[in-house]
Chain A
Amino acid sequence: MGNILAFCEFDGGALRASALSNLSFARQAASAHGGEVIALLIGVGAAAAGPAAAAYAAKVVTVEHGDLGHYLAETYAPIVARLAGEHGAAIVCATATSVGKDLLPRVAALLDAGMASDISKLEGGNRFTRPILAGNAYSTVEVSTPVVCVTVRQSEFAPAEPTGSTGSVSSADAGAIDAKGARIDRVDSQKSDRPELTSAKVVVAGGRGMGNGENFKQLEALADLLGAAMGASRAATDAGMVPADWQVGQTGKIVAPNLYFAVAISGAIQHLAGMKGSKTIVAINKDPEAPIFQVADYGVVTTWEKAVPELIEEIKKVKATR
């Protein structure tokens, strides 16, 4: 018997889509452990987002403090660890976002907990399956510490639906806040009206073969027609054609949309690791031997210059008939 403390990221009064995958895992874990789900929201705006979170969890705990305005592992981890103790957590979990991956191992160290990262499945109790070797194998592990830390692969857990009842919301003290000499100077972000890459239903991704950033604009037109997120291979982001946060792959983002377009992407192992969970994969490449064709459901051997305008035209035709 133990509770599941689910660290949830939020934005503008609502939970992020990534947090809903974590809550989906947390519910499964709560039934395995015979405890309840406690959603934990930390930071400026936590109190305002608490009621939205209460639709998804039996209990919501918010920690609001002016000095927690920007996420820092140094300040957040002691709060999570302390609340894990106070709320009898058997599992502390977060989605494997850039925040979750940074935070949870630090929490684990403070709790002397064992940890399973980026899990794809709960097998029961403290047994988890997770991808290893860039997704070329899956390992099932059992973690035997009294408290266990877990990060959850967003693409493997469908977003939680509302529970149908409203959970209780309470606030907790931040305690002493010590950043240990760490601070955030600034965040350079690319604002976009497109959906988030990790939760988009359709992703349009380009590779080094696109040649330059200007050419990517044509792919962006395709993405906007489909309501898709933009992605890219490491080769394209490394060459500076597009922002680094578009990178799909083992070291970029892991995506599993319904439909994934890989345009002028050869299909290096490290890219495949980030997208091979997609439901339908379309590859467009002028090289018939490109490895991307081995994972693609549909492949067209042609240049992007020819394919992309045709795709836009054909998809417009389909849309016009609906």
Chain B
Amino acid sequence: MKILVPIKRVPDPELKVKLKDGAIDLAGASWVVNTFDEYAVETALRLRENAESGESHGEVVVVTIGPDDAGQQLRSALAMGADRAIRIDGEDKALDSRVVAAVLAKVIEAEKPDLVVMGKQAVDGDANQVGQMLAGKLGWPQATFAATVELAADKASLTVGREVDAGVEYKTIALPGVLTVDLRVVAPTSVKNNITPASHSYGTGEGGPRYASLKGIMAAKKKPMEQKSIGDYGVDVTPATRELGVTLPAARAAGQKVADIPTLVKKLVDEAKAL
């Protein structure tokens, strides 16, 4: 099976947010693969491999829209085990979800994957839109916010555990389709593909995406990376969303430490009037 994984680079979410001229200051930002997209790469690799024999049962193609530097994030995904990459040249500032979905729809027309796996949202913009938009544009089914995924033995459908407000919903979609992944998809037994033995556990504890091995990093340097430009896809790339300004939230007033529980309850009653 062929799996396409669109990824986005984001400024390192561990670093403090700084503003400059009413926008996020990205000068000197350290860029990383969006956390959820890294999980999407991991999910795609688990879906196509036999984790115990190491045998591959399909192709994983990663794609990004970004400047030259964004090639580094594609290389990271290749080092994890993806087979090839496509970088579509574009500036982050000139993109919004609608444009990204339109370009990706064209990539999918050309690549014809059986499945698209992507992060449920990028941790910079937190929009949570592109997967659903892409599925809507293509007329494909969607399974969003996946915590667990099981590929049917005939590879014609996926059953996805989705953490919804009411509990966990199990949704089956026919392929081709769009899968977006949430945090728990990288837990040790969250992904089943009916190839890897069902008893297999990825890592220990909370699991997580795989690290690139030294061998993987060396191999990634030789894997193909195609360069494209947005213009190659013939879609209207005028963003409909314009950022007018960014502000930082007001810091919460400094709180107080109180000596014991009776004092706490007294303050909650008398001072905060919260009880």
- For window 245-275 of B, CB contacts with A under 8 Å fall at 245-249, 252-253, 255-262, 264-265, 267-269, 272, 274-275
* Residues of chain B at interface, number, CB under 8 A: 81
Bound-state CA distance A296–B245 (Å) is: 29
Q: Is the CB of B169 within 8 A of A318?
A: no
Give the interface segment out of B82-90, B120-128, B192-200, B221-229.
B120-128
Chain B residues in 8 Å Cβ range of A172: none
Q: Is the CB of A108 within 8 A of B98?
A: yes
A241 at the interface (CB under 8 A from B): no
Q: Is the CB of B163 within 8 A of A245?
A: yes
Bound-state CA distance A185–B157 (Å) is: 13
Q: Is the CB of B168 within 8 A of A110?
A: no
Bound-state CA distance A25–B44 (Å) is: 39
Chain A residues in 8 Å Cβ range of B139: 180
Q: Which of A130, A139, A181 contacts B141 (CB 8 A)?
A: A181
Chain A residues in 8 Å Cβ range of B45: none
Chain A interface SS verdict (over half)? mixed
Q: Is the CB of B257 within 8 A of A137?
A: no
Chain A residues in 8 Å Cβ range of B174: 180-182
For A185, give the chain B residue with the smallest CB separation: B170
Interface size class of A (residues with CB under 8 A): 35 or more
| Given A137-B246, A185-B172, CB of A117 within 8 Å of CB of B128 | yes
Give the interface segment out of B60-68, B108-116, B130-138.
B130-138
Q: Is the CB of B244 within 8 A of A245?
A: no
Q: Which of B144, B177, B244, B265 contacts A314 (CB 8 A)?
A: B265
Give the interface segment out of B1-9, B69-77, B210-218, B235-243.
B235-243
Q: Is the CB of B165 within 8 A of A97?
A: yes
For B22, give the chain A residue with the smallest CB separation: A140
Q: Is the CB of A318 within 8 A of B167?
A: no
Give the interface segment out of A84-92, A158-166, A212-220, A297-305.
A297-305
Q: Is the CB of A318 within 8 A of B275?
A: yes
| Given A132-B125, A293-B255, A297-B256, CB of A182 within 8 Å of CB of B97 | no
Most buried by B among A107, A109, A127, A310: A109
Q: Is the CB of A134 within 8 A of B126?
A: yes
Chain B residues in 8 Å Cβ range of A102: 132, 142, 144-145
Chain A residues in 8 Å Cβ range of B165: 97-99, 198, 245, 253
Q: Is the CB of A118 within 8 A of B128?
A: yes
Chain A residues in 8 Å Cβ range of B168: 187-189, 244-245
- For window 253-295 of A, CB contacts with B under 8 Å fall at 253, 258-259, 269, 276, 279-283, 288, 293-295
- For window 37-79 of A, CB contacts with B under 8 Å fall at 72-74, 77
Chain B residues in 8 Å Cβ range of A134: 13, 123, 126
Chain B residues in 8 Å Cβ range of A205: none
Q: Is the CB of A315 within 8 A of B166?
A: no
For B138, give the chain A residue with the smallest CB separation: A109
B219 at the interface (CB under 8 A from A): no
A143 at the interface (CB under 8 A from B): yes
Chain B residues in 8 Å Cβ range of A314: 261-262, 264-265
For B24, give the chain A residue with the smallest CB separation: A137
Bound-state CA distance A110–B139 (Å) is: 9
- For window 118-149 of A, CB contacts with B under 8 Å fall at 118, 127, 130-145
Bound-state CA distance A303–B261 (Å) is: 11
Chain A residues in 8 Å Cβ range of B184: 238, 244
Q: Which of B169, B173, B265 contacts A187 (CB 8 A)?
A: B169
For B240, give the chain A residue with the smallest CB separation: A114
Q: Is the CB of B258 within 8 A of A106?
A: no
Q: Which of A110, A182, A258, A315 contacts B173 (CB 8 A)?
A: A182
A177 at the interface (CB under 8 A from B): no
Chain B residues in 8 Å Cβ range of A318: 265, 269, 275
Q: Which of B101, B124, B159, B244 contacts A140 (CB 8 A)?
A: B244
A-B contact pairs, 7 of them (CB 8 A): A98-B165, A106-B136, A108-B129, A108-B136, A141-B243, A243-B167, A280-B274
9 smallest beta-carbon distances between A and B, as pairs: A181-B174, A109-B136, A189-B167, A114-B240, A105-B132, A98-B164, A106-B136, A310-B261, A182-B141
Given A183-B172, A253-B165: 17 more A-B contacts, CB < 8 Å? A102-B144, A105-B130, A109-B136, A115-B97, A116-B241, A117-B128, A132-B246, A137-B249, A145-B240, A182-B143, A189-B166, A198-B165, A251-B120, A294-B252, A295-B252, A297-B256, A311-B264
